[in-house]
Amino acid sequence: MKRLITLIGSVVLIITSSFLVIACKTEQSSNDNLKTQKNDINKNNIKSVIKESKEDETDIEVKEKNELHKKEDIKKTKEEKPEKYMLKRSKEENFSFTKDYGLKHANFIFDKRDKWEKWKNDSKNNSLSSLAGKLTSFYSEISQYSSIDDLQKEFDTKFNKKKKYKSFDEFIEQIDKVVTDYQKEKDKIWHQLESIQSK
């Protein structure tokens, strides 16, 4: 009987220790599972925080770029909008000067065609000859009109049939620019042309 009690005690001891070992292992594994879950949650939180901060940074960068583009667009539109040209003289004065200066050049060209061609083709005189040519061209366009009013009346119907100019005002602006430039260079042009005449 003593042996039986020892045997039963040993079996109970083995069973109890087995249960304890199993219980400890399951507790430890559940603790490990909890730790890994916490680590995963922490990692996910960190990743989401990093992702959110990156998104915030990209949002800020996008906003800054948009603001930069808006500023550049505003600058471009300001640069693209040409300021309205202010005439240096009245329409009548431009008409009169164009007829006077243009007639003088047309007569010179008609009388001294060879000398004009020689002067015009000289590379030193490109800008001056171009300016004189523009003035003469405007003169030939308006020479048949006796006044600026006559020209303005017939501008759309007869004069500008081919729509070379957007409007009468644009036409006058172009004449004004050419006359202004011509008046600055007039003495130089005629000095050179007269030196050709005397040769």
State pLDDT tens for residues 13-64: 787 776 666 766 666 555 566 567 666 666 666 666 566 666 666 767 766 7
Containing structural domain, residue 174: 91-198
Counting Cα atoms < 13 Å in the Cβ hemisphere of 25 gives: 6
Amino acid code (one letter) for 162: K
pLDDT, tens digit (0-9, with 9 covering 90-100), for 89-142: 888 998 898 889 888 888 888 888 887 788 778 778 788 888 888 888 888 888
**Number of domains, the chain:** 2
Task: Evaluate whether 67 touches 60 at the Cβ level (below 8 Å).
Answer: no
What is the spatial distance between Cα 197 and Cα 135, in angstroms, rounded to a whole number?
A: 21
What is the spatial distance between Cα 48 and Cα 8, in angstroms, rounded to a whole number?
A: 59
59, 99: one domain: no
Task: Evaluate whether 148 touches 99 at the Cβ level (below 8 Å).
Answer: no
Task: Evaluate whether 112 touches 197 at the Cβ level (below 8 Å).
Answer: yes
54, 128: one domain: no
161, 136: one domain: yes
**24 falls within a domain:** yes
Structure tokens at 143: 């020479």
**114 falls within a domain:** yes
Amino acid code (one letter) for 126: N
3-state secondary structure of 98: helix
130, 95: one domain: yes
